[in-house]
């Protein structure tokens, strides 16, 4: 059974586009949880274009209240900027259940590739050690590359999150999707063999999710943009349940 973590960034984007507090991020988060979501994911960026640092305490308190997993993702090298205290400071303050480290730049529209761990990434190893010392599970955002996955184990990660954008792009072609899925299947099997848990995320939706989850043991999917887009059609509660059905 694969757990569903709902990424609520798009709700914050909508709120921030107008200012004020509508839609109410906390009420939406609560509705996701009471509709059955196994976790909540946020990605606070230094430009604060969606989730803001002040949102995190309320979300943390709510996930604690409902005993729901809280996942904070972001670039661990994002430093203090204005009212943004720096990514690592946020992890120290709010101690999520899971911290997903992604290699996106501050001005990047969305995460679109995994880490290259074959480069000199000594500082990243130390950061993983720091985060794990807080009793926070660490997941590294990676492409389905066996060499990179092996390095993730050496770096001390607990899990990897497979970037599934390339799978989503290939989904409309039977030939391409078959070859692409084989790559993800091999990556997942290798990760499991060396003791790494596997999460997945990016552009997974109601059309392609079930097929993807047939590749092997995926512990968690993090879905935001597609899920919130579908909620405009089906309503949020029903949409969360549709994604849960696909996961389970």
Residues acting as catalytic residues: 43, 73, 202
> Residue 201 belongs to what H/E stretch?
strand 197-201
Concatenated DSSP letters for 182-199? Answer: HHHHHHHHHHHHTT-EEE
CB atoms within 10 A of CB 144: 27
Cis amide linkage into residue 246, ω under 30° from 0: no
> Residue 50 belongs to what H/E stretch?
none
Provide the angle, in degrees to the nearest 10, between the axes of the packed helices 9-18 and 225-234. 70
Decide: residue 122, CB within 10 A, 0-12 exposed, 13-18 middle, 19+ buried. exposed
Six token digits for residue 183: 């790559």
| Structural contact between residues 48 and 83, judged by C-beta atoms closer than 8 angstroms | yes
Six token digits for residue 193: 């063999």
Residue with tokens 């949102």: 55
Six token digits for residue 198: 């596997």
């Amino acid at each position: 059974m694969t757990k569903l973590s709902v990424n609520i960034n798009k709700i914050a984007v909508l709120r921030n586009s107008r200012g004020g507090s509508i839609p109410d991020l906390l009420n939406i988060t609560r509705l996701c949880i009471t509709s059955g979501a196994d976790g909540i994911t946020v990605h606070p960026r230094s430009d604060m274009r969606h989730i803001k640092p002040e949102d995190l305490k309320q979300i943390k308190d709510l996930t604690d209240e409902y005993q729901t997993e809280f996942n904070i993702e972001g670039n661990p090298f994002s430093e203090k900027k204005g009212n943004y205290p720096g990514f690592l400071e946020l992890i120290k303050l709010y101690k999520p259940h899971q911290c997903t480290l992604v290699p996106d730049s501050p001005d990047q529209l969305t995460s679109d590739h995994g880490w290259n761990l074959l480069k000199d990434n000594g500082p990243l190893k130390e950061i993983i050690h720091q985060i794990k010392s807080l009793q926070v599970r660490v997941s590294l955002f990676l492409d389905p590359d066996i060499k990179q996955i092996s390095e993730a184990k050496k770096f001390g990660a607990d899990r990897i999150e497979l970037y599934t954008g390339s799978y989503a792009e290939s989904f409309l072609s039977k030939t391409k999707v078959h070859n692409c899925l084989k790559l993800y299947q091999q990556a997942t099997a290798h990760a499991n063999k060396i003791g790494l848990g596997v999460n997945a995320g990016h552009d997974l939706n109601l059309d392609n999710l079930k097929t993807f989850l047939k590749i092997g043991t995926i512990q968690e999917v993090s879905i935001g943009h597609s899920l919130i887009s579908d909620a405009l059609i089906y309503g949020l509660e029903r949409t969360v349940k549709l994604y849960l059905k696909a996961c389970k």
